[in-house]
Amino acid sequence: MKIKEEEIMEDEKPVASKKVIIDIQDLYKSFGDNHVLNGFNMQLHEGENLVVMGKSGSGKSVMIKCLVGLMKPDSGHISVMGKDIVTLDQEALDIIRADIGFLFQGSALYDSMTVRENLEFPMRRHKEKLANVKDTEPFVLEALRSVGLEHTMELMPAELSGGMKRRVALARAIILRPKIIFYDEPTSGLDPITAKEIIELMRSIQKKYGTSSLIITHDVDCARVISERMILLVDGINYAEGTFEELVSSTDEKVLAFFKK
């Protein structure tokens, strides 16, 4: 039986046929003689979990900074949700950033603020996105509920375990209902069981909110479970791309080096 394209549900479409939400073309960035990005390319599709792996110092943070407009590339094209990041002014960048959730390495909660205040922080920063919202509490509660921590609203970060802090940071990343989430080493510093719980939460959040995720990780187990596609950043380029299974069965030494424990 022949199925018409429009009969295929959006989330059943193969990744490559989904809409591109981030497009990086031919990105170059050097610091003096240190040529960090040498023509890097990357596409993130709507609803996709894309893992980028690269060894320490390979330029992952530089790439993310260029992506959110914190750093200007030497050359190349970066489009996020259809907007040309390199040419946007501050105000336009802020509007784009309100649609991006960040889970920073090590959670990065403000120690002097309660869980509630930590979650309210991005809401205050991006007031324009929530112009009609008078009461922040339903947002805070819903985000905390998504990570199973609604009872921690009035606690201080010091009263939480490492895994709970990471969950609160995840709740903060989704509070503005972003279209894209950047995860920077989401499982670093966690024991394997807690790391697994965080990965499960990332999956459930993607299902619930339909977000697209860009995940920077060194954690091979995390990459295996979460990625639909992977890009290996080596020598400043997207050296290899494919599913976990495709890359792990590669015969290329530089590719295999990522999967050796």
Ligand X SMILES: Nc1ncnc2c1ncn2[C@@H]1O[C@H](COP(=O)(O)OP(=O)(O)OP(=O)(O)O)[C@@H](O)[C@H]1O
- Residues at the contact surface with ligand X, assessed by CB under 6 A: 31, 34, 36, 54, 56-62
Dist CA 46 CA 23 (whole Å): 11
60 vs 229, beta carbon nearer ligand X: 60
* Shortest reach from residue 61's CB to ligand X, in Å: 3
Dist CA 185 CA 188 (whole Å): 5
115 vs 231, beta carbon nearer ligand X: 231
* Shortest reach from residue 233's CB to ligand X, in Å: 7
* Shortest reach from residue 32's CB to ligand X, in Å: 8
Buried b (16+ CB within 10 A) or exposed e, 146-155: bbebeebbee
Tell me how far apart the terminal alpha carbons of the chain are, to the nearest angstrom.
46
Number of separate helices (H) and strands (E) present in the chain? 9, 10
67 vs 205, beta carbon nearer ligand X: 67
60 vs 179, beta carbon nearer ligand X: 60
Decide: helix, strand or coil at residue 101.
strand
Decide: helix, strand or coil at residue 219.
coil
98 vs 233, beta carbon nearer ligand X: 233
Amino acid at 80: V
* Shortest reach from residue 197's CB to ligand X, in Å: 23
Tokens of 37: 């990005």
* Shortest reach from residue 144's CB to ligand X, in Å: 29
